[in-house]
Structure formats: C-alpha cells, structure tokens
C-alpha cells in the first residue's frame, strides 16, 4: 500500500517514539529528522534525514525538497523552535507565530511577559552581554538561568549578590545566548500542568508532582495523580488561560512547571512542545487518556476532541535513573514495593553513564495499589534503585 500523506517528525530520540507511532496510527508515511543515526526513531522510520534540525536552514531544505504534508516537533526546544520557523515559511498547521513561540520558549522573554501582564511568577531581571551583574531590587536567594537551557543545565542557586558573577558565567557557558535570567528563588513544591487548549478553553488537563533528587534542577521523579488541592489547580488554570489569550496562542498543548506553597502558585516556565522523558506515557498509564494523540492532532490538522469519560485512575510514578558521578553501568535492579513495574532501558550494559543532567540510564514506571503508597515512594524513587558497575 502506498502511503499518500507524508509527515516529518523533527527529533529522533526515545522521547519521540510515542509521537512517531501516533503519526503511524494515522496511516501516514513518517520520515524522521535527527543527526544521530543510532536514535530509535530512525529504526522505525519510513525515511530518515540525518541533519542537525537546530540548523533552521537545513531543516527548511529537507522540507522543501520532500513535499511533506505535516511537520511535527518532538520533545525539545530546538526541535520546536526550528519547526515553528519552517512552518512560518511553508504554512504547516498547529504552530504559533515566531514572536509568540519565542515568548513562551525563551526564559527572558517569558519573564518580561509575565511581569507585563501580572502573571503569577517569580520576580526577575534579565542580564544581556555587557550589563552590570547585579540583581537590582530582587530579594535573595536568587536562581540564575540561561535563557535557552533545559534539564536544569547551567542553573545555579545563589544566596549572596557577590556570588552572582560566577553563576552568570556558569549560565552563559551552558547556553547559545549571552542573555541570563536572575529571579527570586521561591520555596515550595514543584509541579507541572499539561493543558490542551481549543478556542482558548481547556478541554483536557493533567497535574503531576515533580521532584529533583539527583541534580538540583532536573526532574527525575514524578507521579500522577497529584497531591495538589483544587484551589492551586484552578489558580494555575486561570493563569494559563490568560497566557494563551494574551499571547494569541494556537490550539494545542500548553505545558507548565510551577511552584506551590500554602495554596499560592508561581509559574516557572511553559512550553508548547511535548515534555520529554516519556512524561506523556506517565499520564497515559495513569489516566488512560490519549495524551500523545492530543499532542499530535493540531500538527496534522485535526481538532481536539471533547474529553471522553476516563477509566478509574491508576497510581503511577515515573523515575529517570541517573547518577551524580560518571560510571560504567553493567546493570540495575530495584526493590520497589510493587510488582507492576515497566522499564525503558536507554543504555546497553557496559556503556559509560555520564553525570546528571547530561545522561540517563533508564526510565522506570511503577504502578501502586493506593494513593498513599504512590506518594510514599515517588518523592525519592532513587533510593529503591541500585546500579551495578563491574568496577
């Protein structure tokens, strides 16, 4: 059978695999773009293009030379922003304008946007190249961030103004941009909100609890359902409705990290791309909702459906196995207090495992019988995991 409609998936890593198969389920011819030939999506693809998709001109040439009907970004900011730029040239569905996408996906612009429109978020200043390294009227401690980092790379917590210069240098060394964001550090619990918008309204959404236990600013443990009360949930929903309306965003996913303390919320960052490390599978295992299908729909010109009645929630945790120090991983084991465990290995036995946040060994999903059991384990999955090394 000849597949008549063609899609290009921008990204080839393990996180993109569910998106690939959501496209294949539509009977599409699916090509994959990414420069690592060993990546899993290349093994499944109908065709592969081994190019660096962060090079927007190179991605545009692939698109123009091959007549794709759809362009679908995967799970990192480079894939999303390059795809948005190409979509603006070629008219693919599902995308925001470049200006709107830049506001959401650039930390400095997003902080300016939250301040301008009184969105609940930490107070911040932006430092461009050549600016004096100072925090102005911000209250210590501070969090110093590159404008384009992910997985917490280059992020430093600073307690005193005199330590800012070193933190700014660290942020710039982890970034493609000299701009840095300095914001007030907010104490509280970390959570995420995935909302699917249609016509400015939320049609489906999910809240997840998140924890950083190996590298301070990289999430490695999470769970659904969340422990959050309804009041902070509704507060986040209201803020995200404002963001979508004021930025003029298109239909589709709006994924947000936020801090909660005593019912108050602070928006940390948002994204339009699918979050990585199989976050979508956590929600799907817990709720039965087709998260990945919802994500794909706007990019293939399909409307988001009204949410179907979901089956009873399952209590599911997700853990990304990583280490603080480099090692050679021979194998790993767990003593999680449940038999319902699924594992996605990301390394072969004997491969070198770099330190977090730059590398990971596997992703583990564990289902628990009760909410109490889930919430007892999820905040510190790592203590139930043992990595065996031949050394």
Domain assignment present for residue 98? The answer is: no
Could you read off the pLDDT of 227-258 as tens digits, one per residue? 999 999 999 999 999 999 999 999 999 999 99
Which residues, including other chains, have CB under 8 Å from residue 2's CB and lie 6 or more apart? none
User: Do 50 and 127 have their domain in common?
Assistant: no
The number of domains in the chain is 3
Alpha helices in the chain (DSSP H): 17-24, 40-44, 56-66, 77-90, 98-105, 107-116, 164-173, 230-247, 279-287, 291-296, 371-377
User: Do 149 and 28 have their domain in common?
Assistant: no
Pairing mode of beta strands 47-49, 29-33: parallel
User: Do 226 and 169 have their domain in common?
Assistant: no
Domain assignment present for residue 102? The answer is: no
User: Do 81 and 218 have their domain in common?
Assistant: no
User: Do 213 and 275 have their domain in common?
Assistant: yes
Could you read off the pLDDT of 96-149 as tens digits, one per residue? 999 999 999 988 899 899 999 999 999 988 877 777 777 777 888 888 888 765
Euclidean distance between the first and final Cα of the chain, in Å?
52
Q: Running DSSP on this structure, what letter comes out for residue 96?
A: -
Q: Residue 267 is part of a domain; what is its CATH number? A: 3.30.470.20
Q: Residue 73 is part of a domain; what is its CATH number? A: 3.40.50.20
* pLDDT reported for residue 175: 72
Identify the segments of the chain with pLDDT beneath 50: 1
User: Do 349 and 240 have their domain in common?
Assistant: yes
Q: Residue 169 is part of a domain; what is its CATH number? A: 3.30.1490.20
User: Do 162 and 207 have their domain in common?
Assistant: no
* pTM for the full predicted model: 0.93
* pLDDT reported for residue 340: 97
Q: What share of the chain is helix, strand, coil (3-state, %, to 5)?
A: 30, 30, 40
Domain assignment present for residue 112? The answer is: no
Q: In angstroms, rounded to a whole number, what is the distance separating the alpha carbons of residues 90 and 194? A: 28
195 phi/psi in degrees, rounded to 5: -125, 135
The whole domain housing 306 covers 189-388
User: Do 210 and 318 have their domain in common?
Assistant: yes
User: Do 149 and 38 have their domain in common?
Assistant: no
User: Do 302 and 379 have their domain in common?
Assistant: yes
- Using the 3D structure, point to which of 154, 184, 214 is the last residue of a domain: 184
User: Do 144 and 217 have their domain in common?
Assistant: no
Report whether 74 contacts 273 (CB < 8 A).
yes
User: Do 205 and 177 have their domain in common?
Assistant: no
């Amino acid at each position: 059978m000849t597949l008549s409609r063609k899609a290009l998936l921008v990204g080839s890593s393990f996180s993109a695999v569910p998106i690939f198969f959501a496209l294949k389920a539509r009977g599409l011819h699916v090509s994959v773009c990414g420069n690592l030939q060993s990546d899993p999506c290349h093994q499944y693809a109908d065709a592969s293009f081994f190019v660096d998709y962060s090079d927007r001109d190179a991605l545009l040439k692939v698109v123009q030379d091959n007549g794709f009907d759809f362009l679908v970004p995967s799970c990192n900011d480079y894939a999303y922003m390059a795809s948005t730029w190409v979509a603006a040239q070629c008219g693919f569905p599902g995308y925001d304008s470049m200006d709107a996408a830049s506001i959401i996906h650039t930390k400095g612009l997003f902080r300016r946007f939250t301040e301008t429109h009184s969105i609940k978020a930490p107070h911040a200043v932006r430092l461009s190249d050549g600016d004096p390294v100072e925090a102005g009227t911000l209250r210590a401690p501070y969090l110093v961030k590159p404008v384009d980092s992910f997985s917490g790379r280059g992020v430093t917590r600073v307690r005193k103004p005199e330590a800012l210069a070193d933190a700014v240098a660290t942020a710039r060394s982890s970034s493609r941009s000299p701009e840095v964001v300095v914001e007030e550090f907010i104490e509280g619990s970390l959570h995420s909100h995935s909302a699917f918008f249609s016509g400015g309204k939320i049609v489906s959404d999910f809240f997840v609890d998140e924890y950083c236990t190996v590298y301070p600013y990289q999430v490695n443990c999470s769970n659904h359902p969340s422990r959050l009360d309804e009041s902070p949930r509704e507060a986040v929903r209201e803020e995200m409705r404002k963001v979508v309306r004021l930025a003029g965003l298109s239909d589709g996913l709006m994924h947000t990290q936020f801090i909660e303390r005593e019912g108050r919320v602070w928006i940390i960052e948002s994204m339009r791309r699918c979050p990585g490390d199989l976050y979508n599978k956590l929600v799907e295992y817990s709720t039965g909702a087709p998260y990945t299908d919802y994500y794909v729909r706007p990019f293939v010109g399909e409307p988001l459906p009204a949410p179907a009645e979901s089956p009873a929630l399952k209590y599911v945790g997700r853990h990304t196995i990583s280490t603080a120090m480099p090692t050679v991983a021979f194998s790993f084991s767990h003593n999680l207090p449940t038999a319902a465990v699924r594992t996605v290995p990301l390394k072969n036995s004997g491969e070198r495992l770099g330190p977090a946040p730059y590398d990971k060994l596997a992703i583990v999903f564990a289902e628990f019988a009760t909410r109490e059991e889930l919430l007892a384990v999820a905040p510190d999955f790592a203590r139930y995991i043992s990595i065996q090394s031949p050394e």
